[in-house]
A and B are shown apart, each in its own frame.
Chain A
Amino acid sequence: MKRLAFATLLGLAALTTGASAQTTVTYLNISTGSDKDLMLELADEYMAANPGVTIDLPTLENEAFKAKLTTLLQGPDAPDIFHSWGGGVFAEQAQAGVLRNVDGLLSQDTLDSVGAAGVAAFTAPDGHMYGLARNVQGVMIWYNKSLLDQAGVTPESMSTWDGLLAGVQKLKDAGITPISLGGKDKWPAQFWWGYLMIRNAGHDEFYAAKDGEGDGYVIPDIIKAGDMLHQLAELEPFQEGFQSFTYGDASGYFGDGKAALHLMGEWDYQAQRDSSADGNGVSDENLGIMPFPSVDGAPGNSGSLGGIEGYLFSRNASDEAIKFLEWYNAKEQQSRFAAADYHIPITAGAADAMENPYKRKIAEMANKSTWHQLFFDQTLGADVGGAFNDFAVELAAGDLSGQEAAELLQQAAEDAR
C-alpha cells in the first residue's frame, strides 16, 4: 500500500514538472563574498515575477573557475551564462564556437545602457557580440597618508614619474617601505609595466606593436617603459622578499601600514582590510587614492588601466537566459550592487548609487579616460599575457633591462602566432 502511494506520488511529480515546462537558467559566477546574497535575492525576485523560470547560481572560486571552464564549456553541462573578464580568453572562446552569438537579440536599451565601451568589450574580433558588460575596474595608487606625512611627501608631488621617484627616495630615507608589491602572483607587477606602457607608447603605438607591425614590441617607447620600471627597481622600492608575496600578502602588508603605496584596483579597498593582521586595514581617514603618475610629454597621459567584467552566453544559452540577464543588468538591479559597494556598474546611472568615495573616484577616472586599457594579461591572452606578467616581475626585480623585456615579449608574441 505504502509502495503504491509512493509510486503515485512519483507519477504525479513527474506529471506536474512536465506540465509546467520549467526553464532553468544557469549563471555560473565567481561571487564567493556577500554579494552572492544579493544575487540570490534578485534571482528570487525574478523567479517570483516569472513563474516558468528557475534561476540557478552556481559559484566557483576564481582559480577553480578558470581551471574548469575550458572543459565545462565544451560539454553538455555548460552554464547558460558565465562570468568573463573579456579580452584574449574571450576571443579564444568565441573562435572555438562555444559561445552564443547574441547579435540583434539584446534590446537597444540594454546596449545603450552599457555604452560603446561595454559593447566593444564583449564583441569578439569576428565582429559578433557574445555577452554583456557588467562593471568597470580601475587601477590607481592607494596611499597611506600618515606614512607619506612622516616622510614629508605629498601625493601631489608624485603626480609625475620623476616626482614619484623622488617621493620613493624620500620614503626610503625615512625608513619606510615605499611600495607593496605581490610579486609571487606576478599580475600585480603587470600594473607597473603596463601603466608605463600606456603612458609612454599611447594607444595607437601599443596596438600597432601588438599586431606585430614593424619591430613589434621592440620600439623605443616600449623599451623606455621597461627602463623606467627598471629605474624604479634600482631604488629597491618594494618590500623585502616581494617575490614571495602573493597579492593577498602584499595587500595585507599595505593594510598593516607597513608600506606607503600600493598600485591596485578598486577591489583593494576591501581586500587591504580583509588581508590585514587586525582586519581593519588602513582606515578611511588615513587612506588616499591618486592616479598613476604622468610622464612628461608622453602620449598616453590620459589613458588608464583596468578592466570591464561581464557575462558571456554559452552556445547552450536559452532565450530565457538572455531575457533574464537584460533584466539583471538593468539600472534598477545594478544600483543595488553599487549601493552595497560590490562593484562599479557600467550600466548608465547605476554607479550614482555608490557611496564609497574611493570607488566613485575610480569610476570617474575610467569615465574620463580616453583609453581605458583592459588588463594586459587579459588583452594578450593566457599565453603572451602570462609572459607579460613574468617579465614585469623581472623588471621590478631589476633583473631585466627595458630592451631585454621588450625583446622577450616580442619573442613570446611570435611564438604564439
Chain B
Amino acid sequence: MTSATAQAVSAPARQVRARRFVDRKGLIALLIFLPPAVILFTVFVVLPMIDAVRFSFFDWTGYGPITDFAGTDNYADVLRHRNFGTAVRNSLLVVVVSLTIQLPLAMWCALSLAERSININIFRTIFFVPFMLAEVAAGLIWKFVYDGNYGLVPIIGDAIHTDLPFVLADKFWVMPAILLVITWKYFGFHMMIYIAGLQSIPAEVIEAARLDGVSKWRINAFVKIPMIRSAIVISVFFAITGALQLFDLIIPLTNGGPAHSSHTIVTFLYEFGIRRMRIGFGGAVSVMLFIACVGVALAYRRILFKVEQT
C-alpha cells in the first residue's frame, strides 16, 4: 500500500514537501526524532548485516578471533552442499503454494465474508485465529495432529480403515503436510488484508453494477478485485518474503527432517551454519538469501511500476 501511495505523489512534489517540512518544523524536531530510529536500525539491522557479509569470507566456529580467511570457499561449499538444493526447492515450493493456493483461498473467503454482520464476524475470527497463534505453538499442535501413533491422522486412518503414513517421517509426505500448515496458518492474515480493502469500496459502485444486471461473479472479478489492487499488491509481497524467511514453523514440526528433506533456506542456515558452528558458512547462506530477497523486492517494484504505467 505504501509503495502505491508513494508512487501516486510525483517526485518533484515530494521534494518540495520534504524541504518545506524541514523549514517549518526546524532541525530540532529532526534531531530529536531521527537519532533513536537511526541508531536502533544501525545497531540491530545494518551492523549485523555487514558482520554477516564479513563472516561469510572467513572460516569461523564462533569462538575466538576471526583470522582464517577463506575467500569464496564458503559460497562454493553452500552451492555444492547436498541439502542446499532441497532447501531452495522447498522455499520456492512455499512461495508457489502461497501464491497459487493460499492467496486465492484467502480472496475467496474475503469475498464471502466482507459484509458486516455478527455471524460473519464469527467466521472471520475463526479464520484469523491461526494467524494469532505463535508459530512455535502452531508447529507443536500440528506435530501432534500428524503424530502417527496418537495424532489425528491415525484416527482418520482408522475411520477409513487404511494405514496412513507417518507424514512427518516420510520424505514424500512431509512437504505437503507442512504446506497445509502454512496455508492454514497464514491465509487468515491475507484474508483480513483483502477484507479491509473490500470494505473500503464505496457501496454505490457495487450497487450501480448490480442495477446494471451484472452477475455476482462478474462483480467480484471486474469490480471488487480490481478495486482492491493495492491490498493484493501488499499481500503478495508479504507472501513471497514471508515464504522465503519461513523458519519457526518448521523447527517444532520436523526440525528439517526426515533426512533434511524439509529444510527451508533459513532452517538450512540455522542447522548447518549456527548449530554446526560454521558461522562463515551460515553467513554465506544469509548473504545469498539477502540478495534473493532484495532482488525480489526490486523486481516486484519494477513490475508494479510498469503495470501502473499502462
A73 to B61, CA, bound (A): 13
A93 near B63: Cβ-Cβ < 8 Å: yes
A253 to B166, CA, bound (A): 15
A25 to B260, CA, bound (A): 42
A183 to B275, CA, bound (A): 18
Which B residues touch A393, using CB under 8 A? 257-259
Residues 130 to 181 of chain B near chain A (Cβ within 8 Å): 146-149, 165-166, 168-170
Q: Does A243 contact B (CB under 8 A)?
A: yes
What is the size, in residues, of chain A's interface with B at 8 Å between Cβ atoms?
33
A386 near B259: Cβ-Cβ < 8 Å: no
A122 to B165, CA, bound (A): 46
A98 to B64, CA, bound (A): 7
Q: Does B77 contact A (CB under 8 A)?
A: yes
Bitwise interface map of A from 378 to 389 toward B, beta carbon under 8 Å scored 1, else 0? 000111001100
Q: Does A146 contact B (CB under 8 A)?
A: no
Q: Does B91 contact A (CB under 8 A)?
A: no
Which B residues touch A383, using CB under 8 A? 276-278
Bitwise interface map of B from 19 to 44 toward A, beta carbon under 8 Å scored 1, else 0? 00000000000000000000000000
Residues 253 to 279 of chain B near chain A (Cβ within 8 Å): 254-255, 257-260, 271-272, 275-278
B169 near A92: Cβ-Cβ < 8 Å: no
A186 to B275, CA, bound (A): 14
Residues 360 to 405 of chain A near chain B (Cβ within 8 Å): 381-383, 386-387, 390, 393-394, 397, 399
Q: Does B71 contact A (CB under 8 A)?
A: no
A244 near B254: Cβ-Cβ < 8 Å: yes
A73 near B257: Cβ-Cβ < 8 Å: no
Which A residues touch B254, using CB under 8 A? 184, 244
Q: Does A204 contact B (CB under 8 A)?
A: no
A98 near B63: Cβ-Cβ < 8 Å: yes
Q: Is the interface of A mostly helix, strand, loop or mixed?
A: helix
Bitwise interface map of B from 221 to 260 toward A, beta carbon under 8 Å scored 1, else 0? 0000000000000000000000000000000001101111
A244 near B276: Cβ-Cβ < 8 Å: no
A382 near B277: Cβ-Cβ < 8 Å: yes
B275 near A70: Cβ-Cβ < 8 Å: no
Out of B77, B147, B258, B278, name the residue touching A183 (CB < 8 Å).
B258
Out of B168, B170, B259, B277, name the residue touching A92 (CB < 8 Å).
B277
B61 near A241: Cβ-Cβ < 8 Å: no
Nearest chain B residue, comparing its CB with the CB of A417: B59
A240 near B62: Cβ-Cβ < 8 Å: no
Which A residues touch B257, using CB under 8 A? 183-184, 186, 243-244, 393
A244 near B62: Cβ-Cβ < 8 Å: no
Which A residues touch B272, using CB under 8 A? 386
Q: How large is the interface on B (under 10, 10 to 19, 20 to 34, 35 or more residues)?
A: 20 to 34
A244 near B168: Cβ-Cβ < 8 Å: yes
Which B residues touch A98, using CB under 8 A? 63-64
Which A residues touch B82, using CB under 8 A? 408
Which A residues touch B278, using CB under 8 A? 383, 416
A393 to B275, CA, bound (A): 18
Nearest chain A residue, comparing its CB with the CB of B146: A244
Which B residues touch A244, using CB under 8 A? 146-148, 166, 168-169, 254, 257-258
Nearest chain A residue, comparing its CB with the CB of B272: A386
Q: Does A96 contact B (CB under 8 A)?
A: yes
A183 near B64: Cβ-Cβ < 8 Å: no
Q: Does A97 contact B (CB under 8 A)?
A: yes
B259 near A73: Cβ-Cβ < 8 Å: no
B166 near A394: Cβ-Cβ < 8 Å: no
B260 near A390: Cβ-Cβ < 8 Å: yes
Q: How far is the CB of A207 from chain B (nearest CB, A)?
A: 22
Q: How far is the CB of B67 from chain A (nearest CB, A)?
A: 11
B63 near A243: Cβ-Cβ < 8 Å: no
Nearest chain B residue, comparing its CB with the CB of A277: B150
Q: How far is the CB of B149 from chain A (nearest CB, A)?
A: 8
Q: Interface centre among B63, B65, B170, by most A CB within 10 Å?
A: B63
B63 near A386: Cβ-Cβ < 8 Å: no
A381 to B34, CA, bound (A): 46
Q: How far is the CB of B34 from chain A (nearest CB, A)?
A: 31
Q: How far is the CB of A362 from chain B (nearest CB, A)?
A: 29
Which A residues touch B148, using CB under 8 A? 240-241, 244
Residues 178 to 230 of chain A near chain B (Cβ within 8 Å): 183-184, 186
B166 near A92: Cβ-Cβ < 8 Å: no
Which B residues touch A82, using CB under 8 A? none
Q: How far is the CB of B8 from chain A (nearest CB, A)?
A: 46
Which B residues touch A93, using CB under 8 A? 63
Q: How far is the CB of B126 from chain A (nearest CB, A)?
A: 29
A163 to B218, CA, bound (A): 73
Where the two chains meet, the residues of A that have a C-beta atom closer than 8 Å to any C-beta of B are 70, 73-74, 89, 92-93, 95-98, 183-184, 186, 240-245, 253, 381-383, 386-387, 390, 393-394, 397, 399, 408, 415-416
28 example contacts (A-B, Cβ-Cβ < 8 A) are as follows A70-B277, A73-B63, A74-B63, A93-B63, A95-B64, A96-B63, A98-B63, A184-B169, A184-B255, A184-B257, A184-B258, A240-B148, A241-B149, A241-B165, A241-B168, A243-B168, A243-B257, A244-B254, A381-B277, A383-B277, A386-B272, A386-B275, A386-B276, A387-B276, A393-B259, A397-B258, A408-B82, A415-B77
Other than the known A240-B166, A397-B259, A416-B278, what 17 A-B pairs have Cβ atoms closer than 8 Å? A70-B63, A73-B63, A92-B63, A92-B277, A93-B63, A95-B64, A96-B64, A242-B169, A243-B257, A243-B259, A244-B169, A244-B257, A244-B258, A383-B276, A386-B275, A393-B257, A394-B259
Please provide the 4 A-B residue pairs with the shortest distance between their CB atoms, ordered closest to farther: A241-B166, A96-B64, A96-B63, A243-B258
